[in-house]
Amino acid sequence: MRDASSSGYVSREGGVGQDLFMETEVIAALIAAPAALFTAWAAYGAGRVQGRGAVDSVRRQSQRDSYAQLIAVCYEFNDQALRAWPPTAHAAVQEETEELGVLERRIGERTSFVTLDGPPHVAHLAYKVWEAASHVRLDAALNRPSVERRAHSALSFDVALTAFVNGASAHLNTGLLPRWRRR
């Protein structure tokens, strides 16, 4: 039979018979280490999600603002187009048409903001609105375009604007991120 002193079991107090790995402090440290690593990992992940949420919120607000500004200019353009189309004196029509040109340029500027804010499918719809506004202005600039041509231009503008409003609204009101933002 072996002697306890020769077995290598020595305690901190100098006693014999306790294994160093069985100390309560060592056991507590071994149990706490994985828990601390898990907690640190969870905190890191939560911080990344919160940071991404803040960036997405700012991006969404920027998109909402640029979409709303484009829609407001389009409504103003539509009102001006209605004023430019009744048969009036040539000078009055020319003034109204010039104002349509100014509003068309503003639609183009707002379209560039929508293009920068994205996403691409909403930017494409905004471009279609700008293109339809250009046709309306060109038709209004003609001295006496036919009623059918005016009606077609007005309808094209209305369809493009409705498609843009629906597309922008669908994009803003879904909680899903676009494919290029998912990771």
pLDDT band at 183 (very low <50, low <70, confident <90, very high): very low
77 close to 104: Cβ distance less than 8 angstroms: yes
pLDDT of residue 93: 62
> Is 137:104 a contact under the CB 8 Å cutoff?
yes
Predicted TM-score (pTM) of this structure: 0.61
CB 149 within 8 A of CB 139: yes
Does pLDDT of 11 surpass 90? no
> 180 pLDDT exceeds 60?
no
Q: Tens of pLDDT along 140-175?
A: 777 666 777 878 888 898 999 999 999 888 888 875
3-state SS class at 23:
coil
Higher pLDDT: 63 or 5? It is 63
Between 27-36, 119-128, 148-157, the lowest mean confidence (pLDDT) is in: 27-36
Q: Helices in the chain by DSSP H: which ranges? A: 24-84, 90-117, 120-141, 147-173
CA 48 to chain centre: 18
